[in-house]
Structure 1
Amino acid sequence: MTQWFDDAIIGTGRLPLLVLFVAFLGTFLFIRLSVRMIRAGVRWWPGNVTPGGLHIHHVVFGLVAMLVAGMGLIALASFETPVANCVLAGLFGTGAALVLDEFALVLYLKDVYWAEQGRLSVDAVFVAVAVIALFVLGLRPYGVGDYEQDRGAAAYAWTTVILLTLLALTAVTMLKGKFWTGLVGLFVWPLLVIGAIRLSRPGAPWARWRYARRPARMARAQQREDRFRAPVARAKVALQEAVGGGFGIDSSSAAPTPAVPDTADAAVSRVQRLVNAFEWWQTRRRLRSVPLWRVPVVLTVGAAVLALVLVGVDETVVGPGGAGVDGSGSSAAATMLSVIAGGMITLGGLVFTALTLAMQFGAAQLSVRVVPMLQQGRIIRWSIGVFLATFVFALIIALDLAAESSGDVPLVSVVVAMALTLLSTGMFIALVARVAHVLNPTRLLSEVAREGRAAVLRTYPHEKTAAVPSAPGPAEAVDDTPAVDDAADDAHSVRDDGRETEGDGEPAGAVIPLRHADPAGQVLLAVHVERIARLATRWGVRITVDPVVGQFVSAGAPLFVVRGPMARVRPDFLVRCLVFGDTHSPSASPAAALQALVDVALKALSPAVNDPSRAVQSFDYIEDLLVLLSRRAAVAPARTTTGRLHGSPLTWEDYVSVAVDEVRHFSGESLMVLRRLRAVLTGLLETCPASLHPPLRARIDALDAAVRRTMPDELDLNLARVPDPLGLGSRRGARSR
């Protein structure tokens, strides 16, 4: 350690810098401790310096110390005085810490030390600590001093171009609001390239100038701000509070402001909260679309690294004079690896073709809602990844053989290439099976139904019994959005001044809109109701979720209506309780699965397809989901899910409407579909309790009226009135037999 200190610090002349850094950091920590002790009213701690009643801020002592140290360093600049330089550097660091600790006071020309603006002083200190630390490590802005000064005009011109380029990158990075990236980039220039290329922060000048007419980029920037920047900002604020004390708190008040009692947190155990958080993480992970390129890129990079590592391993294992010295063995190995690489790139193209074919078939023949199921299939992503990884691995080894003239056969690399080839063969078989499964409408319908059953069990984990109420449980809060509560939003109107009011004339509440469209899509897929309820209780407000699951939310449309004091409300916390996507896929909720099956039936009944048999098949699975929902879904709408979160989830009648009404209007004169639809309704009458019968009987009556209007022939009228699970299994119907 001593040797390193002598070589790295003393030998390089950076000892005064180190002394300045230690003095600066120590003074700042001490002065913050002092002011916090004074603020807390500790009797034995010395108070403020107030001669004659005049409060002298410590910035004054800092200015004096900086002036004395600066003059001393200038006066001794021509002398070799290492001890004096260190002492003066320490004095300068002490003065700089005292000045920057009250930087906000100097900037605003008023005492804002404990106000919210006082955070600026801590930010200034953090910046100074970072800069001094980089200098202590031996880094200099743009590497100044590393350029040789005895070169020709061309070298000077090239150096000037480099410095101007770095200055331009610094300006762009700063304009994009990335202050810390630009600051550290002054010393580590690759960070400037990254900061200049990456998206701007949404509130930066660059975003205001360049993203005003590019909403997609602004939405991506906002999403990145909420996902990555917000946690870092919260961590920075926590560090500021830990080091500098609480800001924005009136120190004159003796008693702290009482917090709103969080009854929800008291009622829900920590274990249950962890379970809810884990379930919400699973829901987000399940509903968020996985980029198709992620797995292939990771596997390809891993294969390239593995190939480079095995090249060195083979040189160690085989060594000089190994197998294939005459060159024939290495030539054969290179030929085999070339064949493997060519085959893998062909298989990669086949995967893309299969994916395109499956998505076209699913969208054209079935429903656009099944496309995410095909796109997010693991077989597709892993097939592309394995094929490309094998291609890259074989190509790198073959190129290494071509570049080497020793004639040695890379035994380890060849064995690994053969293993990857066998793995690719297995993935190809799985891919063929997956494509065959997708191109089979019956199998795909069963997969949609399986996703729907899983969504029903997640949404309604308990069957309706005497001990379990029919109102939805906590699991439903994850996958079904509460709609606006009727009791909470009675008779909204608009006053002359444009403010929304309730029926009694009181303000309706603050609206939190969707500020920017989510790049993943604008269809609401899930809502974390438990967390919203806890936040509402913690903030002492009432929150209404405006959109419902499956609804497309436009940019600027309301997401939440908050009634109560807004001082503690954090809109970003509420927005993070929502999951958006591009399609309401069958795995999102029971309603989405029913909608997907209904879409398949409608597509089959369209004149372009005209396949009533497929529509009948879709009703087989629709009936299965409705039977499952009849044992779990609520009969009547719940007024609210909690005391402070207003909403009403979907009910039994809503699900019946989603499953039946559209097909009932579209079935026209198709006897097969009419008989199968009637069989669904009459079958539910037999299996469901009497409390669920009214919506079913209403649909049967409407179906009878439609049949009388569209079937003038007596025979067709009689056939259409027969419930038949097979559509046209017999004249009397399978149930009658």
Structure 2
Amino acid sequence: MDWSRWYSLKSYVRSSLWTVPLIAVAIYAVVKPLTEMLGRWMIRQGILDPKTGFFGLSMTGARSLLADIVSADLAFLVFTFGSLLVAIQVAGGQYTPRIIATTLLRDNIIRGISGLFVFALLFANRTAGWMGEDEVHQLQVFIAALLGFASVVAFLFLIDYAAKFLRPVSLVARVGERGLAVIDSVYPAPSSGVATAPERDKERGTPDRVVRLAGSSGIVLAVNMKMLVAEARRANLIIEFAPQVGDFVAVDEPLFYLYGNTGAINETRLRTLVAFGTERTMEQDPMFAFRILVDIALKALSAAINDPTTAVLAIDQLHRLLRMVGKRSLRIEEIADKSGQVRMILRTPNWEDFVHISFREIRQCGAGSIQIARRLRAAIENLIQSLPEHRHDALYIELSLLDRAIASKLEFAEDVALARIPDSQGLGGSATSIANN
């Protein structure tokens, strides 16, 4: 299996809810025979009394207990998956559909608890069917009882966890955390504090060879940079990746530009080092976390939902991500091999891209809300104060646009004056208003 297929399979497994219950079935197939063998050995050694065991249950009591465990775990499974389907519909409609695969279906606690229910159900059902007419398998009944108790506790925990997990503040915080991790991996170097203009296009000139996408169209999910650098070093050339991670690439569009000894490279091999899919993921796509947060804010500001407080929560996370991005080096990334020779060029978003996606659409939809206008201003002014000077120009432009939008959308001078007061809570008070009191 080549790298691109392996990556796509791994990404699919991570975002699929059924994989953990399937693993639980495999674990059950191994553990159940081992416990049966252990139970027989404990009886032969006199460690376990076959009649009294741990609970001293009769055949009728044991079968009744096991039947209750099977019924409970089956009900837990039905309720869990039924509720999850409803939660997915609600989250997709109220927040954004892009949060389903990136957050809801990747939650390991929900997946793990559903796996526990499957394991307990199979174990209890097998124990009930394995017992004869006059023999109670005490160890298996004891283990099934423990699993049943654990299932009840896990189910109660799941209800509380899911209720908290689906709150807007929890969802946007999770997206923000994942966004920070991606930014840290894509932009590991700190900013030099000096704005640098890219000279790459002038230096490289016209590519000696263009490798185009073959097969089927798709969205670029990830690139195996380590292997591409190795291929470029082996062939003694420079590989430029034409699209960005997250771009949609159609069949026959440029995928790689090659400079140098192009005859020594295998096009098919290069194509297998790029993973494509139908939906963006956050593994190597720093802009996708911004996109999800902006979509949540826009949905909250729509007339159908009208929840500016949720939009403020999204702006909180955008502000957090921008602070980190602004302190990193965002130059066109030239990746060198061990000898220091540039082998690969990978385009990544620049500072203006991040600023535009964070503020433009939210300002267009929410500048008429005093709460949103104040929170946007607080974020922009804080970024101007905390980030290097070469990041300020794009922020000053957004601040000017915000002032003009406020003036055009608010009719009364008092509202305009209030909207121009920065407030990290939206309408939760500010230094200016407190001083005036």
Deviations 1:286-324 (A, max 9, x none): 7973532222122123324433454455456558x9528
SS of 1:542 mapped into structure 2: strand
Q: Which residue pairs with 2:126 in the alignment?
A: 396
Q: 2:116 aligns with which of 386, 398, 402?
A: 386
The one-letter code of the counterpart of 2:143 is V
Q: Does 1:330 align with 2:59?
A: yes
The residue type paired with residue 305 of structure 2 is V
How far apart, CA to CA, are the structure 2 residues paired with 1:328 and 1:366? Answer: 51
Give, as a single letter, the amino acid of the residue that structure 1 aligns with 2:123: F
Compare CA radii of gyration and give the structure with the larger one: 1
Aligned to 1:614: 310
For residue 422 of structure 2, give the secondary structure of its aligned residue in structure 1. coil
2:151 to 404, 418, 424: 424
Q: Deviations over 1:567-590 (max 9, x none)?
A: 431234323433344443455443
Q: 1:720 to 1:224 in 2, by over 3 A?
A: same
Question: Is 1:369 matched up with 2:369?
Answer: no
Equivalent in the alignment of 1:663: 362
SS of 2:211's equivalent in the other structure is strand
Q: Distance in 1 between matches of 2:256 and 2:25?
A: 44
- Structure 1 distance, partners of 2:294, 2:10, is 26
* Alpha-carbon distance change, 705 to 410 in structure 1, aligned in 2, over 3 angstroms: same
Separation in structure 1 between the aligned mates of residue 107 and residue 388 of structure 2, nearest angstrom: 39
Report deviation, 1:606: 0.6
Q: Counterparts of 1:731 and 1:227 in 2: how far apart (Å)? A: 53
Question: TM-score scaled to structure 1, two decimals?
Answer: 0.52
State the match for 2:26 in structure 1: 301
- Of the three residues 73, 77, 87, the one matched with 1:358 is 87
Considering fraction of residues, name the structure with more strand.
2
Describe the shift of the 1:427–1:443 C-alpha distance in structure 2 as closer, same or farther (beyond 3 A).
Answer: same
Aligned with residue 332 of structure 2, among 638, 656, 666: 638
Structure 1 SS opposite 2:257: strand
Whether contact under 8 Å (1:669, 1:711) holds in the other structure is yes
Q: 1:394 to 1:705 in 2, by over 3 A?
A: same
Pairwise CA distance, 1:362:
2.3
Structure 1: any 5+ residue segments left out of the alignment?
Answer: 1-222, 229-280, 472-482, 491-501
The residue number in structure 1 matching 2:222 is: 526
Aligned residue pairs, count: 423
Contact 1:524 1:550 in 2 (8 A): yes
Q: Look up the match of 1:93.
A: none
Q: CA deviation at 1:515?
A: 1.9
Shift in CA distance, 687/286, structure 1 to aligned 2, threshold 3 Å: farther
Q: CA RMSD in A?
A: 3.5
SS of structure 2 residue aligned to 1:632: coil
Gaps of 5+ in 2: 337-341
1:487 aligns with 2:165: no
| AA in 2 matched with 1:704 | D
Question: Structure 1 residue 570 and structure 2 residue 266: aligned?
Answer: yes
Which residue is 1:714 aligned to? 413
Change (3 A) 1:563 1:429: same
Tell me if the contact between 2:3 and 2:273 (Cα under 8 Å) persists in the aligned partners: no
Relative distance call for 1:423 and 1:570 in structure 2 (3 A) is farther
Alignment of 1:592-603 (within 5 A): 592-603=288-299
| Deviations, residues 503-547 of structure 1 (Å, cap 9, x unaligned) | xxxx76232314235xxxx33233233432332232133322122
Contact 2:16 2:105 in 1 (8 A): no
- The structure-2 alpha-carbon separation of the partners of 1:525 and 1:462, relative to structure 1 and needing over 3 Å to count, comes to same
Question: TM-score scaled to structure 2, two decimals?
Answer: 0.84
Measured after TM superposition, the shift of residue 485 of structure 1 is 5.8
| Counterpart residue identity of residue 361, structure 1 | V
How far the C-alpha of 1:707 sits from its partner, in A, is 2.6
The separation in 2 between residues aligned to 1:366 and 1:693, in whole angstroms, is: 31
1:559 pairs, out of 255, 258, 262, with 255
Amino acid at match of 2:137: P
Alpha-carbon distance, 1:605 to partner: 0.2
Determine if contact 2:210/2:254 at 8 Å carries over to the other structure. no
Query: Which residue in 2 is equivalent to 1:113?
Result: none
Aligned to 1:245: none
- The alpha-carbon distance between structure 1 residues 290 and 698, as it changes in their structure 2 partners (threshold 3 A), is closer
Opposite residue 71 of structure 2, the aligned amino acid is: G
What aligned pairs does 1:147-546 form with structure 2 within 5 A after superposition?
A: 289-311=14-36, 313-314=38-39, 317-318=42-43, 322-323=50-51, 329-371=58-100, 372-401=102-131, 404-405=132-133, 407-464=134-191, 486-487=201-202, 502=206, 509-516=209-216, 522-546=218-242
1:585-639 CA-to-partner distances (Å, cap 9, x unmatched) read: 45544322222221111111011110111111211221122122222143xx437
Q: Give the 3 Å change call, closer, same or farther, for CA 485–381 of structure 1 in structure 2.
A: farther
- Quick one: structure 1 residues 368 and 633, their matched pair in 2 at CA, closer, same or farther if it must change by over 3 Å? farther
Deviations 1:310-364 (A, max 9, x none): 4455456558x9528xx98122211211111111111111221232233223211
